[in-house]
Amino acid sequence: MASKDIVIGIVGSGGDGVITAGEFIVAAVSSEGLYSFLLKSYGAQIRGGESSCRVRISENPVETQGDDLDALVVLSWADYLKFEHEIDLRENTAIVHDEEDPIPDDHVARWAKNPTYRIPFKRLAKEEMQTVLTKNIVMLGAMIELFGVPERGIAHAIDKKFGKKSPGVVAKNLEALACGKRWVAENIKKTDDHFLTYTPSEPKLVMEGNAAIALGATVAGCRFYAGYPITPASEVMHWMAQHLPAVGGTVVQAEDEISAAGMVVGASFGGIKSMCATSGPGFTLKAEMLGLASMAEVPMVIVDVQRGGPSTGIPTKTEQTDLMQAVYGSHGDSPRVVIAPTDVEDCFDTAVYAFDIAEEFQIPVVLLSDQFIGQRKETVRPFPVDRREVYGRLKPSAAELANYKRYRVDTPTGVSPMAVPGMAGGQYPAGGIEHNELGDPTSRVNLHNAMTEKRYRKYKYIVEKYSFVRRYGDDDAPVGILAWGSTKGVVKEAVALLQAEGHKVGAMIPQLLHPFPMEAFDQFLAGKKRLVVAELSYRGQFLQFIRSRCTITAPVHHIARPGGKPFTVREITEALREVL
């Protein structure tokens, strides 16, 4: 029977246009007012290799990629085998593949009862369109007929994608779309079992996590970005390079990760809100500059889009294993703030908060995202780009400049006025060496103690003002689940599912991780008889981190596994059922 919520997976080689096809589908359904969620997955090769995407389409808001596929479209079985452990099929998942590439022998029996469609994508592209490059568009035409993907939206997406090229390019692709649709209509007796049904409504906004971070930073006043290309964070720099100059900003591709961080510290010292973005290996290289920003009390925002590690690891897959590095990764007592977005919409908000905190408290802020959020697309609300206020740093008054003490200790919040170079009377040394109130180097123990306490005094006020967490389910539930970052979506959906069955379950997802929001955790843990903690970390960094900060008296059911594949709603639901 027809459905209002379907999940389609597409797999092929790097040149098959798999990701482009997925993005066309998202653009199409969004233009029809549907909600969507696009998860992209690549091989780790620099060029070529395998690629896949999963698109969830629904009339209702969606926050996860969906557990099982309703339809699997394979352009290359050799490439499918590289993703097999990431793709979950149901007993009646429709399987679509090119007639020239038969299902592998050892899979035939397994899928004997699945509806299967053999379609000559490659042959139609070569014979009818005279170019194999249109194979993915022929495939989209077939999906229109088989699964109800909105034809008008796909045609609009093609026009938008290729409209700046010669008119013949758009016409050729529209012809390929019609070709695939026509072949299915004439040759396949299909059912409505996997057909999308919906009522069109107002178009929806779709955005990628990395782009949302860049937009949020720009809205918050970021006007300098320095970066070095690294997967899966490079899209932040791409967006900034395209859009930041339009608002008077500057983007620099540095020679390495250390230089990028140094440029950000220097630009921020000069009075410009500044940011860089990286992934785990690059974050390690930035640690010295992060320590410098902490000591010199220079505002700084670093985005870490986590990937599978350690070392080069799996650059194109997700994991939650940079938590300890983000919180503790520096030499000495080096205060910083760590915030974790939970979805694409949250990327915008937390980027704004990151700059607010960095500027108000003159402290480095780490925005800890991951590949699952950074490179996926999902439906979001329109962002408030004309936000109510853009926060700036505290600057000295004329009276304070008469005897300027950049690092004045006797401030209630630990924040002392920061002069901008060129401000009369505002000159001061700013370096990584310990200093007195004027900024002059010192090795006196009593001054080091006083300055360290001053720098950490900010934590109390940051937690009071920005201690944001997300709570779901029943506040008085005896069973609770804790998770962070991109695990939020599946946790929220699992809790709602169990509540609908009559169970009492509560969940908490902190956005502010460091400094630790102790009060929020204590309130959540109070009265819990059982606790589930879920994280994509083999050694359980999140649970270790929580245990180091607060007391957990309830028995803990810990779901800790390496990343690569995000959690499913099924995994979280089964874990909660065990303790229920």
d(CA 377, CA 525): 33
- Predicted TM-score (pTM) of this structure: 0.95
Pairing between strand 205-208 and 377-380? Answer: antiparallel
Residue 233 belongs to some domain of the structure: yes
pLDDT tens-digit map of 474-512: 999 999 999 999 999 999 999 999 999 999 999 999 999
The number of domains in the chain is: 4
Tokens of 479: 């069973």
pLDDT tens-digit map of 535-575: 999 999 999 999 999 999 999 999 999 999 999 999 999 99
Q: Are residues 108 and 72 in the same domain?
A: yes
Residue 392 belongs to some domain of the structure: no
Residue 550 belongs to some domain of the structure: yes
Residue 393 belongs to some domain of the structure: no
Which residues have a Cβ under 8 Å from the Cβ of 71 and sit 6 or more positions away? 6, 7, 8, 9, 93, 94, 95, 96, 143, 146, 147, 194
Nearest CA-CA partner of 146 in 240, 78, 71: 71
Please provide the size of the chain in residues.
Answer: 580
pLDDT tens-digit map of 431-458: 999 999 999 999 999 999 999 999 999 9
pLDDT of residue 388: 62
Alpha helices in 65-195 (DSSP H): 77-83, 105-108, 121-127, 135-147, 151-162, 167-187
Residue 386 belongs to some domain of the structure: no
Asked if the model's pLDDT at residue 31 lies above 80, the reply is yes
What are the percentages of helix, strand and coil residues in the chain, rounded to 5?
A: 40, 20, 40
pLDDT of residue 15: 83
**Which helix (H) or strand (E) is 117 found in, with range?**
strand 116-119
Asked if the model's pLDDT at residue 390 lies above 80, the reply is no
451, 466, 481: which is the final residue of a domain? 466
Sheet hosting strand 5-13, strand order edge to edge: 116-119, 89-98, 69-74, 5-13, 50-58, 35-42, 377-380, 205-208
Phi first, then psi, for residue 562 (nearest 5°) are -60, 165
Over residues 458-463, the mean pLDDT reads 97
Asked if the model's pLDDT at residue 47 lies above 90, the reply is no
Q: Are residues 213 and 331 in the same domain?
A: yes
Query: Which residue, chain included where needed, has tokens 């996997």?
Result: 194
Q: Are residues 234 and 162 in the same domain?
A: no
Q: Are residues 199 and 348 in the same domain?
A: no
Q: pLDDT-derived band of residue 385, with 50, 70 and 90 as boundaries?
A: confident
pLDDT of residue 387: 67
DSSP-assigned states of every residue in 160-194: HHHTTS-HHHHHHHHHHHHHHHHHHHHH----STT
Pairing between strand 337-339 and 512-514? Answer: antiparallel
* 327-349 per-residue burial string, b: 16 or more CB within 10 A, e: under 16: bebbeeebbbbbbbbbbbbbbbb
pLDDT of residue 135: 94
Q: Are residues 67 and 197 in the same domain?
A: yes
Q: Are residues 447 and 501 in the same domain?
A: no
Pairing between strand 35-42 and 50-58? Answer: antiparallel
pLDDT of residue 166: 80
Asked if the model's pLDDT at residue 384 lies above 90, the reply is no
Phi first, then psi, for residue 499 (nearest 5°) are -60, -40
Q: pLDDT-derived band of residue 245, with 50, 70 and 90 as boundaries?
A: very high
pLDDT of residue 49: 77
Q: pLDDT-derived band of residue 189, with 50, 70 and 90 as boundaries?
A: confident
pLDDT tens-digit map of 113-155: 999 999 999 999 999 999 998 999 999 999 999 999 999 999 9
417, 436, 466: which is the final residue of a domain? 466
Q: Are residues 34 and 80 in the same domain?
A: yes
d(CA 517, CA 519): 6
pLDDT tens-digit map of 304-346: 999 999 999 999 999 999 999 999 998 999 999 999 999 999 9
203, 230, 259: which is the final residue of a domain? 203
DSSP-assigned states of every residue in 267-331: HHHTT--EEEEE-HHHHHHTHHHHHHHHHHT--EEEEEEE-B-STT-BTTS-----HHHHHH-SS
Sign of the CA dihedral running 376, 316, 259, 251: negative
Over residues 266-272, the mean pLDDT reads 98
Between helix 541-549 and helix 518-525 the angle, nearest 10°, is: 100
Q: Are residues 317 and 403 in the same domain?
A: no
d(CA 177, CA 179): 5
pLDDT tens-digit map of 60-92: 999 999 999 999 999 999 999 999 988 989 889
pLDDT of residue 46: 63
- Arithmetic mean of pLDDT over the chain: 95
Helix (H, G, I), strand (E, B) or coil at 440: coil
The CATH number covering residue 540 comes to: 3.40.50.920
pLDDT of residue 345: 95
* Residue percentage of the chain with pLDDT more than 70: 99
Nearest CA-CA partner of 338 in 536, 527, 516: 516
The CATH number covering residue 132 comes to: 3.40.920.10
pLDDT tens-digit map of 6-27: 999 999 998 899 999 999 999 9
d(CA 56, CA 70): 10
pLDDT tens-digit map of 291-303: 999 999 999 999 9
pLDDT of residue 552: 96
Residue 553 belongs to some domain of the structure: yes
Q: Distances in Å between the alpha carbon of 484 and those of 211, 371, 460, 469? A: 21, 14, 22, 10
Residue 388 belongs to some domain of the structure: no
Q: Are residues 290 and 322 in the same domain?
A: yes
Amino acid letter, 266: G
For residue 431, the enclosing domain spans 398-466
The CATH number covering residue 330 comes to: 3.40.50.970
Q: Distances in Å between the alpha carbon of 512 and those of 24, 338, 341, 399? A: 35, 6, 9, 36
Residue 372 belongs to some domain of the structure: yes
d(CA 339, CA 354): 7
pLDDT of residue 48: 65
Q: Are residues 351 and 496 in the same domain?
A: no
Q: Are residues 371 and 408 in the same domain?
A: no
Q: Are residues 176 and 225 in the same domain?
A: no
Sign of the CA dihedral running 456, 358, 489, 17: negative
